[in-house]
Amino acid sequence: MRRITYRDAIREALREAMQKDERVFLMGEDVGRYGGAYACSKGLLDEFGEERIRDTPLSESGFTGAGIGAALGGMRPIVEVMTVNFSLLCLDQIVNNAATLRHMSGGQFSVPVVIRMATGAGRQLAAQHSHSLENWYAHVPGLRVVAPATIADARGMLWSALEDPDPVIMFEHATLYNEEGDIAAEGPWAVDIDRAAVRREGKDATIITYGGSLPKALAAAQTLGEEGVSCEVIDLRTLRPLDTERILSSVANTHRAVIVDEGWRTGSLAGEISAQIMEGAFFELDAPVARVCTAETPIPYARHLEAAALPSVDAIIAAVRRTLRR
Amino acid sequence: MRRITYRDAIREALREAMQKDERVFLMGEDVGRYGGAYACSKGLLDEFGEERIRDTPLSESGFTGAGIGAALGGMRPIVEVMTVNFSLLCLDQIVNNAATLRHMSGGQFSVPVVIRMATGAGRQLAAQHSHSLENWYAHVPGLRVVAPATIADARGMLWSALEDPDPVIMFEHATLYNEEGDIAAEGPWAVDIDRAAVRREGKDATIITYGGSLPKALAAAQTLGEEGVSCEVIDLRTLRPLDTERILSSVANTHRAVIVDEGWRTGSLAGEISAQIMEGAFFELDAPVARVCTAETPIPYARHLEAAALPSVDAIIAAVRRTLRR
Amino acid sequence: MREAYDRVDLTTEHMRDLAHQMILIRRFEEKCAELYSAEKIRGFLHLYIGEEANAVGVMQALKPDDNIVATYREHGHALARGLPATEVMAEMYGKASGSSRGRGGSMHICSAAHRFYGGFAIVGGGLPLAVGLALADKMRGNDRVTCCFFGEGAAAEGEFHESLNLAALWKLPVLFVCENNGYAMGTALERSESETDICRHAQSYQIPAAAVDGMDVLAVEEAARDATEKIRASEGPFFLENRTYRFRAHSMFDAELYRAKEEVAEWEKRGPLVQFKRWTIENDFLSDDDYAMIEQDVAVIVNDAVAFAEDAPWEAEEDLLKDVTTPAAAVL
Amino acid sequence: MREAYDRVDLTTEHMRDLAHQMILIRRFEEKCAELYSAEKIRGFLHLYIGEEANAVGVMQALKPDDNIVATYREHGHALARGLPATEVMAEMYGKASGSSRGRGGSMHICSAAHRFYGGFAIVGGGLPLAVGLALADKMRGNDRVTCCFFGEGAAAEGEFHESLNLAALWKLPVLFVCENNGYAMGTALERSESETDICRHAQSYQIPAAAVDGMDVLAVEEAARDATEKIRASEGPFFLENRTYRFRAHSMFDAELYRAKEEVAEWEKRGPLVQFKRWTIENDFLSDDDYAMIEQDVAVIVNDAVAFAEDAPWEAEEDLLKDVTTPAAAVL
Ligand SMILES: Cc1ncc(C[n+]2csc(CCOP(=O)(O)OP(=O)(O)O)c2C)c(N)n1
Ligand SMILES: Cc1ncc(C[n+]2csc(CCOP(=O)(O)OP(=O)(O)O)c2C)c(N)n1
Ligand SMILES: [Mg+2]
Ligand SMILES: [Mg+2]
C-alpha cells in the first residue's frame, strides 16, 4: 500500500493511459505548460510533448468538438473542460453531436472520447464556478457518466472510460483533489463502471450518493453507527446508466433510503433515484425516501452561506433519523 | 367565443405586449422578414418595424446574452430561440448570467427577460431537432419556466411572464402550434403562472403533465372515463417553481398518480415530481407513482420509430390501469 | 462561364460525368419534392437545387480517403460523393435499408464507407468535428483532407470562430467550403454580418481564402483543386467561399416572404445546369443527344431509387434502442 | 512614456488624481494578497497588479452615466470607477456590508449606483451583456457608452465573435477594451491565436480598433478619450487593445511554470507606477513629497477598508434564499 492524493491518482491514470495507447492524448485549457487548473497533468508535458498534452485556446465548444471529431477519426482523446461551469459552452457538441452520432448514423460511427471536468462547490468560488450539473448529463442517452469518489476509482476509472466505445463524461469533484488515501502499490486498476459500489454495509437505512458527497455520507454513517444506527452507503460511481438493481436490493434489505446529491434539489439526480425506488421497491419501503440536496440558490461566496446551501453531514444524519422516526 | 390556433394566440400575445409596453421588443433568428420559424411573428415586422421585431444573425449565445443585457438596461426583451435544441448554444448566458445576476449582485440587478423556445418531438425531425430538455431548465434557481399547453395559456402567459421581474423561459411544444381551440372574444388574458391547472377532474387517479403531452393525457383520461375510470388531469403549466401543493392535494384525493413527460425518462422532470409525491404524500399512495416518458434514445427520424419512442395515449392508459391494478 | 480553365481535365468524358452528376442531383431532388407532397418523405427537407455545381465541383478534388462533413442540405454532397441514390432515397423514406437505417432522415445522411460523416443539422456544429477529424489525421500522419461544407449563415456562430482559429493555429488539413447562397433562411447576409466579405473573416485567422463563382462547376473544380493542393502541401487549412444561390424555398415550410421572385428568376438564368449545358455544347464537348442520354440514365437511377425505397423494409420496432450505444462486440 | 499627450488635461491636479488612483489599487491589492494568506479572503483572487494604468486611464474617458462590464480581475476597475474601498473589501470578506452583500466575492463586485454591472467570471461571458446594455441605450435614446473589459484570452471564445459582430452590425455604442497581458492563465497569446494582432480581429467586423501602451496611463486615457468620442459621435463600437502585463500569478493557485522570472522583471521595469512617477517628477507635476502624501492617504483608505470589513456583520443564514428572485415589491 502507498498513500497518494486523488490528484496524484488522476495523474497516474493519465500517464498510464498515454503510455498504454498511443491514440490517447489530453487536450484542454492549460493542461500543458500550466500543468492543469487542478495540477492533474503537471509534468506530463515534459514526458509526452506538446502534441499529446495539447494546450488549447479558450474555446470550449471548438476544442470539445475537436475532441469528438478526433475520436471519430480513430484517436482516443481525453478532453479536459476545466469545470462543469464552462461546459455550458460546449453542450451543443456533447449533446447534439457526441451523444447522437452513433444513432443518427444508424450505428456506423462511434465516438470514443472521454471528457473530464471538475464539478461542485465548497471552495467559495460563488455563483458562476460552483455548479453541480450531473443530472443534466445523466439525462442524455448516448452518454455514459461516471464520478470517481475514491482514490482507487480516480486511479482506475479513466482507463475503464477509455475502453468504452462511446462518449464518457467524467466528473471530478473539486474538493476531492487534495484527499489522501491508501492504494495498492500496483495495478490492475480497472474499475467495473457498470456497477455501483457499497462503501459501507448496514441494515437500518441506505444512504445513496456519489462524488464529492461520499465523504459526507460516510462521516454521517460513522456517527450514526456510534449511535447504533447501521447505514449502508452506496457510491453510485456511474450516474448513467444507473445501477438500479444494486440500489433496489439494498433498499429491499434496509427498507429506508436517503439520497445525498450536491445538485440543486429540484430536478436533481436524487429525484430520479427516488422515483426509481418508488417504481421498484415501493412495497419494501417503511418510510418515504428522503433527499439531502443543495438549496435552491446560486452558490453564495460567503463561507457560512455556502455551507448553509450545501448538503452537510448534520443534514444527512437528521434525514436518516427522520426516515427512522428517531 | 372565437376559434383560433395556438400559433395565432402566441401572435396575438406578442402584438398585445408590443402595444402595451414600448420597452417590449422581440429578437431572434428570422422573427422578422421570415415571419418566425413557426410563423408566430408573421406580420409583426410591418406593424412594429425592424427595431422592435429584430432579426438576428445565427448567434444564439450572442443575441440571448444581448437580450439579457437589454433587460438589465431597462428594456423588456422577448428573445426567441427557434428551438430548445439550439438553446444548447446559449446556456452559458441563461444559466451563468441571467439566473445568477440577481444573486451575485446581492439583489441589485434584476433580469426581466422572456426567452421563448419551441420544444419537443413528433414531427420526424430526428436526433438534433427533437429534444425536450424542460428539466434542465427547471433545475436552475433564478429562472421561472412556463409551458403553455392550451390556446388560452398561449394567449395569456406571455404577458404574465413579462410582468415577472426575473428571467422566464417559455416552452412552446412544436406540435401545438396548429392546435385549434375556442377562446373568449376579449381579455383579460393574464394567467396565474404560480398555479397548476386542473384540466379535468377525477377521483380514481391523477395524471400530471404539461405542454405537448397534455392532449395525450386528456385523450387517455377520456377513454378511461368511458370505461368508468375517473382521472384527474393536472397541467403543471409552470415547471419552475412547481405547484407542489396542487399536485399533493390531488394525489391525496385519488391516491394514485401517473406522470406524463416527453423528456427522456432518466433524469426527467417526471422523476422530480414522483420524488415530491414520495416526500409529501407517501402515506396517501395506494400504488407506486408511475411515469410515462420518452424512451432512452435520441429521437429517430422514421415515423414508426419516433412514435415508439414518445409517450403515447395507449401507454398512458396502460400506466393508469397498472396503478389501479386493472 | 469562362474561356479557359487551368487544371481541369477538359475531356468529353469528364464533362459528361459532371453533367451527369449535376443532373442526377437536380432530378433526384425534384423527385424528393414530389415525394414530400405525397407524404412519403417527412420532417425537414432542404433542397440543394441551384447549388449543384458546388458539391460536384469540390468533390472532383477530393480523394476516396478524404473526409467530408456536410449540413442538413446535403443530398447533393452525398450523391456527388458516390453514395448510392437507392440508399439515400431509402433514408428519406425512413426505411431500414437507408444509409442511416432510417434513423437519420434527410438531414443526417451518413456513410462510413465513403468517409461521409454526415448530415449535421445544428448550424455551425459540423465545423469543430471537421477540425477534430483533421487533427486525428495530422497526429496519425494520414495524408488526408477533411472537407467541411457549411452556409454563410454559419459564419456568425461562435463555433465558426473557434473552429477556424483552431484549424489555423494547429495548421490542420481542413478545406472549409462556405456555400454562400445569400440567405440564412430569410435573413440576407448583409443583415447578419457586419463584414459581408466572408473571405476577409477567414483571412483574419491567417487562413488563405478565395471566392469562386458557385454557379460554374468548372470554376469550382479548379478552385477546389488549387485549395486541396495547397492543403496537402502546407498542412494548413484553406477557405473557399462559393457564391451561389438557392432556387427553392429554405425548407418545405418556407413561404419565401423575404425575397422577390425577380431575384430568383435572375439567378435561375445563371443556373449551374443551363450554363454548363450551353458551355459544353458551344465548346463541342457534348451534344443535345448526349444530354438526352444523360437525362435517360438519370431517370432510370431516380426511378430505381424510388422503387428500392418503396420496397425496402421498415426497421423493427423492437430495435428502437439499437444504435444508442455501441455493442461491446463492435469495439475496435 | 511620451513627450506630449493631446487631449489629456496635463495639470498637477489630474496627475495627482491618476497617481492616487493607481497607487490605491496597488496597495489595496497588496493588502488583499496578505489577507488571502491570512485566510480572511477566500475563493479565487485575481490581482490586477501591473495593469492599473488600464482601468484608471479608461475610466477618465467615461461619464457617471456610462455602463461598465468587467471580469473576475476587476478590483482595479471597481476602485477606479469610484466604488468605496470599504464595500469592495467587505465583499472580499464575504460580509453583509459588501458591495454584493457577500454573495459575490472578489469575482463579482457590482454596484448599480455606479452602473458597474460587475464582475463576470466566465471568460467572454460579459461581452454579450455589454452588447445588450448598449442596445437598450440605443433603443431608448440614451447617450451612453457601455465599456466592456476583457482579456486577450477571451478573444478565442465564440462569444467574442458573436458579440463583436452584433455590436458592429447594429452600430451599438460599445467600447471594447481588450487588456492584452500576454497570457490566459498559462497560455501565451501565440499559443491561443493564429492571428496575434487582436486589432485585426476587431477590424474584420468593421470595428475601428487601436492598440495602446497599457503601461502608460496617459496614453490609455488619450486613446480612451478618442474612442469614446468616436462612439458618441458615430454610434458605432470601438475596440481598444491595451498592451499590458500581469506582475503577479494568475490567481493564488498559480505556480507560474509558464513564464521566466526575467520576463516579469523586464516588464516590472516598465511598470505603470514607476514610469508615471518618474515622468510626473521629471516634468515637475509632482514631487517626492507629493508621492509620500499620496501613499499616506492611500494607506489610510486601505486601513479603513480593512477595519470596515473586519467589523462588518455577516449576512444572516436565514437570508440564504434572499436575492434568488426579485420580491414582487421591487418590480419596476
Ligand atoms: C444553431 C442553429 N440555429 C438555428 C437553426 C435553424 N436553421 C436551420 S438552417 C438555418 C439557416 C442556415 O443558413 P446557412 O448557414 O446560410 O445555410 P443554408 O441553409 O443557406 O444552406 C437556420 C437558421 C439551426 N439548425 N441551428
Ligand atoms: C469559459 C471559461 N473558461 C475557462 C475559465 C478559467 N479561466 C479563468 S481566467 C482564464 C484566463 C483568461 O485569460 P484572459 O482572458 O487573457 O484574462 P486575464 O486572466 O489574463 O486577465 C481562464 C482560462 C473561465 N473562467 N471561463
Ligand atoms: Mg445560406
Ligand atoms: Mg490575459
Mean pLDDT by 10 residues, chain B (326 residues): 96 98 98 97 98 98 98 98 98 98 98 98 98 98 98 98 98 98 91 96 98 98 98 98 98 98 98 98 98 98 98 98 92
Beta carbons of B302 and C193 less than 8 Å apart: no
Number of C–D residue contacts, CB under 8 Å: 63
Nearest CB to A59; choose among C108, C166, C324:
C166
Average pLDDT over residues C211-223: 98
Chain D nearest-CA residue for A301: D103
Beta carbons of D195 and C168 less than 8 Å apart: yes
Residue-wise pLDDT tens digits, A47-58: 999 999 999 999
Q: Which residues contact B129 (CB under 8 A, 6 or more apart)?
A: B83, B85, C44, C107, C121
Q: C169 to chain D: which residues are within 8 Å by CB?
A: 191-194
Average pLDDT over residues D58-68: 98
Which 3-state string (H, E, C) describes B88-110?
A: HHCHHHHHHHHCCHHHHCCCCCC
Q: What is the pLDDT of residue C329?
A: 64
Beta carbons of B59 and C103 less than 8 Å apart: no
Q: What is the pLDDT of residue C88?
A: 98
Closest ligand 1 atom to the C-alpha of C157? 1
Is the predicted pLDDT of residue C147 greater than 90, yes or no? yes
Q: What is the pLDDT of residue D329?
A: 64
Weakest-pLDDT range from A182-196, A300-314, C236-250, C278-292: A182-196
When pLDDT is cut at 50, 70 and 90, the band that residue C62 belongs to is very high
Counting ligands in written order, the one closest to the CA of D159 is 2
Is the predicted pLDDT of residue C155 greater than 70, yes or no? yes
Q: B104 to chain A: which residues are within 8 Å by CB?
A: 126-128, 298
Beta carbons of C108 and B125 less than 8 Å apart: no
Mutate to test the pocket of ligand 2, among D29, D51, D123, D258 (most ligand atoms within 8 A of CB): D123
Q: What is the pLDDT of residue C331?
A: 53
Residue B81 CA from chain centroid, whole number: 14
Q: Given CB atoms, is B59 within the 8 Å cutoff of chain A?
A: no
Q: What is the pLDDT of residue A326?
A: 75
**β strands within D53-145, DSSP E:** 67-71, 116-120
CA of C221 to the centre of ligand 4 (A): 43
When pLDDT is cut at 50, 70 and 90, the band that residue D253 belongs to is confident
Average pLDDT over residues D74-92: 98
Nearest CB to B142; choose among D102, D110, D324:
D324
Helix (H) or strand (E) holding A52: helix A44-52
Closest ligand 2 atom to the C-alpha of B92? 1
Is the predicted pLDDT of residue A230 greater than 80, yes or no? yes
Is the predicted pLDDT of residue C253 greater than 90, yes or no? no
Beta carbons of A305 and D315 less than 8 Å apart: yes
| Pocket lining: A89 vs ligand 2, CB cutoff 6 Å | yes
When pLDDT is cut at 50, 70 and 90, the band that residue C328 belongs to is confident
Cα–Cα distance, B272 to A270 (Å, whole number): 8
| Pocket lining: D217 vs ligand 2, CB cutoff 6 Å | no
Average pLDDT over residues D302-322: 97
Put simply, the chain C residues between 72 and 111 with a CB less than 8 A from any chain A CB are: 98-104, 108, 110-111
Mutation choice for D interface testing from A58, A130, A131 by most D CBs within 10 A: A58
Nearest CB to D133; choose among B57, B72, B93:
B72
Closest ligand 2 atom to the C-alpha of D250? 19
Counting ligands in written order, the one closest to the CA of A86 is 2
When pLDDT is cut at 50, 70 and 90, the band that residue D318 belongs to is very high
- All partners of chain B with 3 or more CB pairs under 8 angstroms: A, C, D
Q: D134 to chain B: which residues are within 8 Å by CB?
A: 69, 73
Beta carbons of D165 and C156 less than 8 Å apart: yes
Counting ligands in written order, the one closest to the CA of D158 is 2
Cα–Cα distance, A173 to D286 (Å, whole number): 53
Q: Whose CA is nearest to atom 21 of ligand 1?
A: C151
**Which residues, chain by chain, have CB under 5 Å from ion ligand 3?**
C 151-153, 181, 184
Beta carbons of B295 and C321 less than 8 Å apart: yes
Mutation choice for C interface testing from D157, D194, D199 by most C CBs within 10 A: D194
Neighbour count for residue A190 (Cβ, 10 Å): 13
Q: Whose CA is nearest to atom 11 of ligand 2?
A: D184
Is the predicted pLDDT of residue C330 greater than 80, yes or no? no
Cα–Cα distance, D26 to B176 (Å, whole number): 59
Is the predicted pLDDT of residue C24 greater than 70, yes or no? yes
Cα–Cα distance, C224 to C240 (Å, whole number): 8
Check residue C99 and report its DSSP letter.
Answer: T
Residue D158's alpha-carbon distances to A307, B70, C241, D33, in angstroms, are 34, 20, 21, 33
Mutate to test the pocket of ligand 1, among C122, C123, C187, C251 (most ligand atoms within 8 A of CB): C123
User: Which active-site residues of B does the annotation give?
Assistant: 60, 129
Question: Cell numbers at residue B4, please?
Answer: 383560433
Buried/exposed D268-301: b ≥16 CB within 10 Å, e otherwise: eeebbbebbbebbeeeebbeeebbeebeeebeeb
Which residues' Cβ are closer than 6 Å to ligand 1?
Answer: B 29, 58, 60, 82, 86, 89; C 73, 121-123, 151-154, 179, 181, 183-185, 250
Tell me the residues of D at the C interface, defined by beta carbons under 8 Å apart. 156-162, 164-165, 168-169, 191-195, 200-201, 203-207
Q: A289 to chain B: which residues are within 8 Å by CB?
A: 275, 278-279
Chain C nearest-CA residue for A66: C132
Nearest CB to A126; choose among D105, D153, D154:
D105
| Residue pointed to by grid coordinates 458592429 | D168
Counting ligands in written order, the one closest to the CA of D127 is 2
Which 3-state string (H, E, C) describes chain B?
A: CEEEEHHHHHHHHHHHHHHHCCCEEEEECCCCCCCCCCCCCCCHHHHHHHHHEEECCCCHHHHHHHHHHHHHCCCEEEEEEEECCHHHHCHHHHHHHHCCHHHHCCCCCCCCCEEEEEECCCCCCCCCCCCCCHHHHHCCCCCEEECCCCHHHHHHHHHHHHHCCCCEEEEEECCCCCCEEEECCCCCCCCCCCCCEEEECCCCEEEEECHHHHHHHHHHHHHHHHCCCCEEEEECCEEECCCHHHHHHHHHHHCCEEEEEEEECCCCHHHHHHHHHHHHHHHHCCCCCEEEEECCCCCCCCHHHHHHHCCCHHHHHHHHHHHCCC
Is the predicted pLDDT of residue D330 greater than 80, yes or no? no
Is the predicted pLDDT of residue C332 greater than 60, yes or no? no
Cα–Cα distance, B140 to B51 (Å, whole number): 31
In angstroms, the separation between the Cα of residue B274 and the nearest Cα of chain A is 5
CA of A47 to the centre of ligand 1 (A): 44
Q: What is the pLDDT of residue D331?
A: 53
